Amino acid sequence: MEGKTMKTPYILVLTTMMLFGIPALASAATVSVGDPTTNGSIVSVPINVSGAPDIGAMTITLTYNSSVISATNVSKGSVTFDALLVAEDTIIDNPPLGSYENDTISDADNDTVWNHGAIIGNTTDGMVNISMISTDGFRDDGTLTVITFDIVGSGTTPLNLSDVSANETATCDPCTNETVFDPASYPAIPITRVNSSYTSEEYDSADTNQDCVVSMPELMTQIGKWKLQEIGMPELMTSIGRWKLGSGGYC
């Protein structure tokens, strides 16, 4: 490895190297799904860590019910706040399909990776995959990442950490050209996983655009339906109560 030149795939290669075939074990850590928060039709779910030594590399897979929520974004947390974020390949400069050999990241992004690490997030139907790497290590208890979802239906979805793997930063001292690439230099971190769930309320019958907010025009339409005896008083009173909640929404 010469100088500080780093191609984008190198982040993934080094992460993979650190996560395979490592017999030594580091101190245990807990990775947990935090309490979801709802703002209108958007749900934010933090992924937290506690008790970990310096994290050199980590991969996380979160699975959920895509008929209730749909992942839209991955953002940095308090532990990874100064790392380079690569969400849905946003820093890749349109390389040829299936080939990233000639694609590089900018010098500024390259420096960020070397100095502060990188976190990579990709979303698919019912699954979010996250990888992170740091030469100095992600440290302290806190939030690794926050995943944002859109509410697409009602019901309860599990928020399961189906896979979490992690390794310490390099423990070789001094690190030579041989030891820095020796998997034994990156002890595996035993992980305790804590899952969670999220329940989406059924949309109010007045909420025609299903944004978890009953607007004044929607409420007036609902009152009109009540006058025509298309709905009953209990249903109307529920809509009025949710209208009073304002733009914060009822979901």
Q: Which residues 6+ apart lie within 8 Å of 21 measured at CB? A: 183
Looking at residue 15, its pLDDT comes to 52
Instruction: Enumerate domains of the chain plus CATH numbers.
Output: 8-199 (2.60.40.680), 201-251 (no CATH)
DSSP letters for 47-97:
EEEES---EEEEEEEEE--TTTEEEEEEEE-SSSTTSEEEETTTT---PPT
Looking at residue 3, its pLDDT comes to 38
Looking at residue 68, its pLDDT comes to 93
Looking at residue 94, its pLDDT comes to 36
Looking at residue 212, its pLDDT comes to 84
Side-chain-side CA neighbours of 99 within 13 Å: the count stands at 3
Nearest Cα residue to 23 out of 191, 186, 192, 193? 186
Looking at residue 134, its pLDDT comes to 84
Provide the residue-wise pLDDT of the chain in tens; the chain has 251 residues.
333 334 444 444 455 544 544 444 556 899 999 999 988 789 999 999 999 888 888 999 999 999 999 999 898 899 988 877 666 554 433 334 344 444 455 666 555 555 556 777 888 899 999 988 887 888 889 999 999 999 888 889 999 999 999 998 877 777 777 776 777 778 899 999 999 999 987 788 999 888 889 999 999 999 999 999 999 999 999 999 999 999 888 87
Q: Using CA of residue 38, residue 42, residue 44, residue 45, what is the dihedral sign?
A: positive
**Are 59 and 189 in contact, with CB atoms under 8 Å apart?**
no
Looking at residue 239, its pLDDT comes to 95
Burial category of 216 from C-beta neighbours within 10 Å (exposed 0-12, middle 13-18, buried 19 and up): exposed
